[in-house]
Amino acid sequence: MKTLRQALVITRKDLRAELRTKETLNAAVSFSISVLLLFSFALDPTPDQTAEIGGGVLWMIFLFAGTLVFNRSFARELPNDCLDALVASPASSAAIFLGKCFAGFSMMLIVEVLSLPVFVLFFGGRIMDHPGQLSVTLLLATWSVTIMGTTFSALTVNLRLRELMLPVLVYPMLLPAMLAAFRLLTMLVAGQAIGSEDLQWLRVLFGFDLIFTCLALALADSILVN
């Protein structure tokens, strides 16, 4: 409970700092909207093609936007040695890590909520047919990006090449979860409900989230004290 309370303090701090400057959100939202625009020109899809590729395009864009969000997640603590202060604070490493996760998660969700209408505008598609299933898929998939993004953001924060190393490390690690997200979103964009035979992909997502959340929290000390 104490960990969770401390985590929420960190989350509030991050979100407040973000809402004052909006540096990450502005960049991520305008990035995803302009890439959606570029894709709609580049592919110019018919409704059938949208049903085939729309889910992949949409999730790729969220993934790239996520990289922008998580590149900043720990890097924003570098000026004035804020990161050292955070690590030295009474909050445990797990609490700091979880707080950063929640903050990144909320920012990614904001980006997704703002980009979805633009996606419908440019690509059409019937993604809003099953809002409940869409939100479950997006929440689970976004959490998997969050947990990996935050972990590797913390690991690479002190590196000279951190903006380059983050995607190189994160994308391969995320592949099992992304495979599931691509499948599920493709179905949802085509307007199909997630049937019982596709539940295994939701299970993959859920299992991935669970395993890596536990692993990251267990290793939080090693992840943060770099």
Partner 1 sequence: MRQKLIVAMLLVSSALLVRNLYTILLDFPDEANQGAIWRIFYFHLPSALTSFIGFYTGAALSIMYLWKKDLKYDALAAVINEVSLVFASITLITGMIWARIAWGIWWAVGDHRLTSYLVCILMYAGYLMLRRSVQDPAQRASLSAVIAIFASLDIIIVWKSIEWWRGNHPGPVLSIRNGGGMAAGWEGLAYWNVLAISLLAIPMILIRLKQEQMQGEIDSVRRFAHEV
Q: What is the nearest approach in angstroms of partner 1 to the Cβ of residue 170? A: 9
Q: Which of 110, 141, 155, 217 binds partner 1 (CB under 8 A)?
A: 155
Among the candidate windows 13-21, 52-60, 65-73, 216-224, which touches partner 1 by CB under 8 A?
216-224
Cβ neighbours around 90 below 10 Å, total: 7
Residue number, 31 or 201, with CB nearest to partner 1: 201
Nearest by Cα to 167 from 155, 152, 177, 157: 152
Tell me: does residue 223 bind partner 1 (CB under 8 A): yes
Residue number, 33 or 145, with CB nearest to partner 1: 145
Tell me: does residue 8 bind partner 1 (CB under 8 A): no
Angle formed at CA 57 by CA 53 and CA 61, multiple of 5 degrees: 175
Q: What is the nearest approach in angstroms of partner 1 to the Cβ of residue 159? A: 6
Q: At 187, list the tokens.
A: 């179905």
Tell me: does residue 87 bind partner 1 (CB under 8 A): no
Name residues contacting partner 1, limited to 161-200 (CB under 8 A). Answer: 161, 165, 168-169, 172-173, 175-176, 179
Residue number, 106 or 156, with CB nearest to partner 1: 156
How far apart are alpha carbons 56 and 182 in whole angstroms?
5
Nearest by Cα to 103 from 173, 188, 9: 9
Q: What is the nearest approach in angstroms of partner 1 to the Cβ of residue 163? A: 12
Residue number, 127 or 155, with CB nearest to partner 1: 155
Q: Which of 49, 89, 135, 222 binds partner 1 (CB under 8 A)?
A: 222
DSSP three-state, residue 44: coil
CB 162 within 8 A of CB 75: yes
How far apart are alpha carbons 1 and 199 in whole angstroms?
32
Which residues, other chains included, contact 121 with Cβ-Cβ below 8 Å and sequence gap of 6+? none
Site size toward partner 1, by CB under 8 A? 23
Q: At 200, list the tokens.
A: 């295994």
Residue 124 DSSP symbol: -
Interacting residue ranges for partner 1, rule: CB under 8 A: 151, 155-156, 158-161, 165, 168-169, 172-173, 175-176, 179, 211-212, 215, 219, 222-223, 225-226
